[in-house]
Structure 1
Amino acid sequence: MTENRYILHIDMDAFFASVEQMDNPKYGGRPLIVGGNPEGRGVVAACSYEARKFGIRSALSAARAVKLCPHALFVRPRKERYKEVSIQIMEIFKRYSPFIEPLSLDEAFLDISSNHETMEAAAETAEEIRSRVFHEVGLTCSAGVSYNKFLAKVASDMKKPDGLTVIPIDEARSLLDTLPIGKFFGVGRVTEKKMHSLGIHYGRDILRFDKAQLIRFFGKAGAFFHDIARGVDNRPVESQKGRKSIGTETTFHSDIDDIDEIEKILRDLALKVEQGLQNKSCGATTVTLKVRYHNFTTVTRSCTHSIPINSVDEIMKCTRQLLETTDAGKVKIRLLGISLSNLTNTSLKIPVQLDLPFF
């Protein structure tokens, strides 16, 4: 029953930047940017709350970040260190539930329904987890508690940083009615713009449409929007999710349009992806090419095979075809990426290639 579900969403506060500030006290209290560089290349991977006061956000261009905050401090990402801290945090979560669904290094759902009888008790557990993370790891996190995943995630964002929000079932409808549509899970900029064109600005506006209408407007996602606007989300916390994709990308020091250079870079990326497949003993049926142009416009192109592929030559054959559907070689580009999805376990022996370092 919905009334007996207690779902937590724990989200670390400015995780990458907070780890840097924890490890380097001299960074404390300063506008800190992880990723990019002060010369204006690259993009912001993460930033401290001090930097956010200047309007800096993740995925913002470094050039724009420098303009917004010229005295911001840039540091290179340390992915292995973030993974190390993430493992510490997830180990704390395991003390409270075997049902944990990590969404990334810094956030996860926990289902604590089996050992809690009230929402108040679940909230106390969330507060205890936050306290343990702070005292054992040294970082703050925000938590949301509710009876489903969607509302728990909404709740965790309401009192950031270092906050706790509880949304019980009898308060869900009033909150959803006034929740801006852009805060709904699965609503990106394009979908938000389309919803606005239909007069949908808040959760209550979705209620004017039946499920069939929403599916006609938004495809399968329409059924999901129909349900969550009514507080219905029966998705379980999936603790045994396998990896969904393997990919890598690179941002160039200067924009390029030479097609031979582009192909060479793509082959290097394909080698890395092949190595990832080999490490996981799997193949994939879908190849996706990512291209970011000099003006930061990003496009993706995908193709799907009937049988799994797992070699660099197969990956490159598909990637070349996808590349021809973009403007790469005609206009300058600043980033290339390859990812493979719809992974399938396989016992096929993949030829060993040179061990190239991952970014």
Structure 2
Amino acid sequence: PTRAIILIDMDAFYSQVEQVRLGLTADDPIVVQQWDSFIAVSYSARRFGIRRNEMTVLEAHERCPELRAVHVATYAPGQTDYRYHAHPDRQTHKVSLEPYRDASAKVMAVLSRPRHGLAPRFERASIDEAFLDVTEIVLARLAERFADYVPPGVAVRPDLPPAIDWTHAGRVITAADCEDAVALPGPLADGAPDPRDEPTWDALQLRVAADLCAEIRGDVLKELGYTCSAGIAHSKTVAKLLAGRHKPNQQTLLTEAYRLDFMRTVSFGTIRNLGGKFGDEVERELGITSCGDALRYPLAELQAKFGDESGRWLYRIVRGLCDAAVVPRSKTKTMLASKMFRTPLRTFADIRTWLGVLSTELFVRLSHLWEQEQRWPRTLVFTSRNPTATADRSKSGPFP
């Protein structure tokens, strides 16, 4: 059977974590500050034209006097945990992202929770994103809802499902959303439906997945107070593209019938592995910048230019074809606490002070890991970097 894949993407996650912590609403403009720059901007602040890495805190306040600028938590010398300090100094404080890691762990626990006795295949993609393969859950729900439904692969199955009601499914991509959609052969008769909108079992599969997605997003909001957006499709690549299509707090769905039309609107840089060196190579070699431009190249020509494997991958990915599985990420194998100094440390007293700060951060994070997974490290590595040396210096030993 075709797969039902969901990509959950938290909306301005760090900003939401601070909004919930401070008891603010989604309408209260807030930015998360790290030293002199913003690392997160809420959607309510973006309405004032505030963007990351584009202005100072003072300039942001000029655009939005009611803006709340919250500096990330930091570790300070002599303290045994991270705190939200009023005036942290990069010369004496160490940034902590632990509040966001903790919030992420709670979100991921909700996302990976079994539904009606079946757990989705779950892959944490980043601190604020996760893929869910809900195919088994969807097929089970289809079997419950439609007595005459027979899973794919069985000889007897209705040719078409019942009419599909897309109400409350979220934003469903149609021809109107695809500027470069290929025209249908011949005009439609007055009042005639677009054949691409005819019901299919694959489309019904995604419709059921949309209900499940709304249920999951609702649980995150109800239990944790965070909104998230989502993409719903038959593959990871397309689900990822859809999740960012309509934000915040929305879900977007693409049926197989509109896959090619949608992909014509996608630029290379938004697809993983096409935003880097290989994408640059494709743009230079073919003189194109979008998936729509690449569709005119046959498989053989792409393989001749980029090799058999890369050419085949490119041919498929620009068409939204992706077989990548949703795979659980391996457990954390290393954990790092580090600090880069603008001015090198010159005394052993300074070094001891910073070793204390970094040790505190590492201990806090390891304590959380022990609480969650009952795991403890075996080896400790200390690395120092001298700006005048040609290589780093490292020492390792058993972890205490």
Report TM bin, short chain. Answer: 0.5 to 0.7
Structure 1 residues 64 and 142: CA distance shift in structure 2, 3 A: same
Distance (whole Å) between structure 2 residues aligned to residue 81 and residue 151 of structure 1: 31
Confirm whether residue 145 of structure 1 aligns to residue 145 of structure 2: no
User: Which structure: greater strand fraction?
Assistant: 1
Specify the SS of the correspondent of 1:35. strand
Does the 8 Å contact 1:10/1:156 carry over to 2? yes
Which residue number corresponds to residue 398 of structure 2? 350
Distance (whole Å) between structure 2 residues aligned to residue 171 and residue 8 of structure 1: 17
Unaligned runs of 5+ in 2: 74-96, 140-204, 370-374
Distance (whole Å) between structure 1 residues aligned to residue 124 and residue 250 of structure 2: 20
Confirm whether residue 239 of structure 1 aligns to residue 323 of structure 2: no
Letter in 1 for 2:34: G
- The size of the alignment, in residue pairs, is 288
Cα deviation, residue 237, structure 1: 0.9
Which residue number corresponds to residue 90 of structure 1? 108
Report which structure shows greater RCO (CA 8 Å, sep ≥6).
2
Structure 1 residues 186 and 133: CA distance shift in structure 2, 3 A: same
Confirm whether residue 161 of structure 1 aligns to residue 248 of structure 2: yes
Letter in 1 for 2:293: D
Does the 8 Å contact 1:144/1:154 carry over to 2? yes
Identity %: 25
Distance (whole Å) between structure 1 residues aligned to residue 378 and residue 311 of structure 2: 33
Letter in 2 for 1:236: A
Structure 1 residues 28 and 178: CA distance shift in structure 2, 3 A: closer
Cα deviation, residue 178, structure 1: 1.8
Structure 1 residues 101 and 249: CA distance shift in structure 2, 3 A: same
Specify the SS of the correspondent of 1:250. coil
Letter in 2 for 1:232: L
Alignment of 1:46-195 (within 5 A): 46-58=40-52, 60=53, 64=56, 66-70=58-62, 71=65, 72-78=67-73, 79-93=97-111, 94-96=113-115, 97-117=119-139, 118-188=205-275, 195=282
Does the 8 Å contact 1:181/1:187 carry over to 2? yes
Cα deviation, residue 111, structure 1: 0.8
Letter in 2 for 1:67: E
Does the 8 Å contact 1:56/1:65 carry over to 2? no
Structure 1 residues 66 and 323: CA distance shift in structure 2, 3 A: farther
Structure 1 residues 52 and 213: CA distance shift in structure 2, 3 A: farther
Confirm whether residue 227 of structure 1 aligns to residue 316 of structure 2: yes
Which residue number corresponds to residue 289 of structure 1? none
**Partner of residue 17 from structure 1, selected from 15, 18, 25:** 15
Q: Is the deviation greater in 133-142 or in 144-153?
A: 133-142
Q: Is the deviation greater in 125-134 or in 143-152?
A: 125-134
Structure 1 residues 185 and 130: CA distance shift in structure 2, 3 A: same
Q: Please, what is the CA RMSD of the aligned residues?
A: 4.1
TM-score by length of 2: 0.59
Structure 1 residues 104 and 173: CA distance shift in structure 2, 3 A: same
Distance (whole Å) between structure 1 residues aligned to residue 333 and residue 388 of structure 2: 21
Distance (whole Å) between structure 2 residues aligned to residue 203 and residue 186 of structure 1: 13
Specify the SS of the correspondent of 2:264. helix
Unaligned runs of 5+ in 1: 284-309, 327-337, 339-347, 353-359
Distance (whole Å) between structure 2 residues aligned to residue 205 and residue 280 of structure 1: 51
Cα deviation, residue 74, structure 1: 1.8
Structure 1 residues 311 and 250: CA distance shift in structure 2, 3 A: closer
TM-score by length of 1: 0.65
Distance (whole Å) between structure 1 residues aligned to residue 48 and residue 277 of structure 2: 25
Which residue number corresponds to residue 345 of structure 1? none
Which residue number corresponds to residue 8 of structure 1? 6
Cα deviation, residue 321, structure 1: 9.5
Confirm whether residue 205 of structure 1 aligns to residue 293 of structure 2: yes
Cα deviation, residue 88, structure 1: 3.1
Cα offsets for 1:75-101 (capped at 9, x unmatched): 122544333433332232213324111
Does the 8 Å contact 2:273/2:279 carry over to 1? no
Distance (whole Å) between structure 2 residues aligned to residue 212 and residue 22 of structure 1: 54
Does the 8 Å contact 1:274/1:311 carry over to 2? no
Cα deviation, residue 190, structure 1: 6.3
Does the 8 Å contact 1:47/1:57 carry over to 2? yes
Cα deviation, residue 22, structure 1: 2.3
Cα offsets for 1:163-195 (capped at 9, x unmatched): 111122222111112212222123447666555
**Partner of residue 306 from structure 2, selected from 211, 214, 222:** 214
